[in-house]
Amino acid sequence: ALEMKKFKRKLGEKVGLPCCHKIESSDSLHNYRVYWQKNIREVVLAYAEGKEISKDKRYTNRTEMDDRNFTLWISPVEILDNGPYQCVVQHLRSSQNPSVVCDETVTLLVTADFSKPNITAEVYAESCESTEMVVTCSSYGGFPKPKISGTLNNESVVWNVSWVSESSLSPYSVTGKLQLNVTKDVSFTCSVESNGFTKSTSLLLKKTYVCVVPTVPPSYNVITASSIIIIIFLLAITLAARYLSRHVCSRCCKPQDSVEEGVKECTKTATSSKVTSETSSV
């Protein structure tokens, strides 16, 4: 089986879906029946003997067919146009026994851009250590059903995702929620991807509660213990100083006594000499 031809268009654009047969210059549309149908059951338009014989009201004023190559033109494209289209061509060699000369299916993929993601953060608890919040990312108006992803400081996160759409062929709204425990300012990115197109939004999530730790005066017990330690330290220094001074004096006193005794001896000798001299004179 041949791979089905696919044509991708955005909502509101124009598309031409090709058929598998082309009329030769010597031939005429009057010799053909052409059926364009969607999902096999829905007739988009039909031609017989050069005249339009049928058209679905949903395609009124939005479709036309080339009378040489049977290309089906649709403009503007709607989301409901998404799906497979079959072109069937019959040649009217005889009205009783027309022959099928072409039967081919092509697929139209209609896309619609999603809005730029909107990120909101709701704080529900905070402390000096962290800020607890619920982050919500939402986008709407796109088609087909999207994927939503996110990163926190370039690391992937897992969303709790919900989609809303009136039907499988209606624009989607998507919402992702995530609970975070933020301990510092972080960069957060939300991306919505659909059919190869991606839109992203980034937001700086801040730790909202900053605690100022007050200076706590030392308690009574701390003051008492510190005072005792200081007093003991001063007493120890005083006692050590007194001990050292006595030890030094005890070593210095002996030489001092010898000097004094020498002075006394000299005094005694001088006195004795003086007495002797005076006696001799007499």
Q: Is 119 exposed, middle or buried (0-12, 13-18, 19+ CB in 10 A)?
A: middle
- Residue 180's closest CA among 219, 225, 124? 124
What's the whole-number mean pLDDT along residues 187-213?
86
- Residue 196's Cβ-count burial label (10 Å; 0-12, 13-18, 19+) is exposed
- Express each pLDDT in 127-170 by its tens digit: 888 889 999 999 999 999 999 999 998 899 989 999 999 988 89
**Domain made up of 5-111: CATH architecture:** Sandwich (2.60)
Binned at pLDDT 50, 70 and 90, residue 277 comes out as very low
Residue 257: C-alpha distances to residues 262, 265, 270, 271 (Å): 9, 12, 20, 21
Architecture of domain 118-205: Sandwich (2.60)
Mean pLDDT over 212-236 rounds to 72
Between CA 150 and CA 145 the distance in angstroms is 17
pTM of the model: 0.66
Tokens 């330290």 — which residue? 233
5-111 and 118-205 have identical folds: yes
Domain boundaries, the chain: 5-111, 118-205
Q: What single letter denotes the amino acid at residue 14?
A: K
